[in-house]
Structure 1
Amino acid sequence: MPYTPPPELAEMSLAEIAEQVRLRKLPPVEQWSPDETGDSHMRIAADGSWYHEGSKVTRPAMVRAFASLLMRDKDGAHWLVMPYQKLSIEVEDAPLIAVDAQRREDGIAVRLNTDEVLVVGADHPLIAKGSRERPDLYVHARRGLLARLNRSTYAQLAELALAEGEEWRMTSGGETFSLLPPAA
Structure 2
Amino acid sequence: MTLDLNRFAGQLEQADCVAAAKVGPHPKLDEWDPPLCGDIDIQIDRDGQWHSLGQPIHRERLVRLFASVLRRESDGHYYLVTPVEKWRIQVLDHPFVLTDLVEQDGAWQLTGPLGLTVCLGDEHPWSLQQGLPSIALWHGNAARLGRNLYHRLAPQCEQREDQYGLNLGQRWCPMGEA
Shared fold, TM over 0.5: yes
Structure 2 distance, partners of 1:157, 1:149, is: 10
Task: Indicate if the aligned counterparts of 1:139 and 1:148 stay in contact, CA closer than 8 A.
Answer: yes
Residues 157 and 138 of structure 1: CA distance in aligned 2, closer, same or farther (over 3 Å): same
Q: Residue in 2 aligned with 1:154?
A: 150
Structure 2 distance, partners of 1:49, 1:33, is: 27
Question: Any gaps of 5 or more consecutive residues in structure 2?
Answer: 1-23, 159-163
CA deviation profile, 1:20-70 (whole Å, cap 9, x unmatched):
xxxx67362101000242112100111111111112101111111100010
Match 2:167 to one of 151, 156, 170: 170
Structure 2 distance, partners of 1:48, 1:25, is: 18
Q: Which moved more, 1:110-119 or 1:99-108?
A: 99-108
Q: For 1:179, what is the secondary structure of its paired residue?
A: strand
- Say what the alpha-carbon RMSD is for the aligned residues: 2.1
Residues 36 and 93 of structure 1: CA distance in aligned 2, closer, same or farther (over 3 Å): closer
Q: Residue in 1 aligned with 2:12?
A: none
Q: For 2:122, what is the secondary structure of its paired residue?
A: coil
Task: Indicate if the aligned counterparts of 1:71 and 1:81 stay in contact, CA closer than 8 A.
Answer: yes
Q: TM-score, normalised by structure 1?
A: 0.72
Identical-residue share of aligned pairs (%):
27
Structure 2 distance, partners of 1:50, 1:92, is: 11
CA deviation profile, 1:132-180 (whole Å, cap 9, x unmatched):
xxxx211112111111111111233335556xxxx622234x5432222
Quick check: 1:143 aligned with 2:102? no
Structure 1 distance, partners of 2:27, 2:50, is: 20
Q: TM-score, normalised by structure 2?
A: 0.75
How many residue pairs align between the two structures? 150
CA deviation profile, 1:57-97 (whole Å, cap 9, x unmatched):
01111111100010001121100011101000000001111
Task: Indicate if the aligned counterparts of 1:42 and 1:53 stay in contact, CA closer than 8 A.
Answer: yes
